[in-house]
A = this chain, B = another copy of it.
Amino acid sequence: MEQLKVLFHVSDNECWQRALMNIQNFLNDIGERGADVEVVANAGAVVAYYSDGGQLELTDQMARLSGIGVRFTACRNAVRAHSLDESLKPSFVEVVNAGITEIVKKQGEGYAYIKP
């Protein structure tokens, strides 16, 4: 079977818990090596990369998923709009020029789109 490709779009900080559980359940179902998974965070959702408001388990989960191949990206416009310092982001987060461009390009490459 061809490798599945999935993009998760997270724009609300409140949706991270659900998004990470979606990804974990998906990988449990198809196997950790069964899909290319990318998360694009824009708007308010980039804040959780820097501080999960006491919910430390969120960034822990992200780091662990990153370790098994899930790619986490942040929209640079959103990082700046929230006065966050790009140089202080966690090492597992990649900043992209514009989140929407990333999402559009990935769909063009055959990634399924999921809004958790």
Is A22 located at the chain interface by the 8 A CB criterion? yes
Q: Is the interface of A mostly helix, strand, loop or mixed?
A: helix
In the complex where A104-B4, A104-B26 touch, is A9 in contact with B115 (Cβ < 8 A)?
yes
**Which of B23, B75, B100, B105 is in CB contact (< 8 Å) with A114?**
B100
Would you list which residues of chain A between 65 and 116 have a CB under 8 Å from chain B? 75, 77, 97-101, 103-105, 107-108, 112-116
In the complex where A9-B115, A42-B22, A115-B115 touch, is A29 in contact with B101 (Cβ < 8 A)?
yes
| Count of this chain's copies in the oligomeric assembly | 3
What residues of chain B lie closer than 8 Å to A11, measured between beta carbons? 18, 116
- Would you call A98 and B25 a contact (CB within 8 A)? yes
In the complex where A22-B42, A113-B113 touch, is A28 in contact with B104 (Cβ < 8 A)?
no
In the complex, the chain B residue whose C-beta lies closest to that of A75 is B25
If A9-B115, A25-B100 are given as contacts, then 4 extra A-B residue pairs at C-beta distance below 8 Å, sorted by A number, are: A29-B97, A29-B98, A103-B114, A115-B115
- Would you call A43 and B30 a contact (CB within 8 A)? no
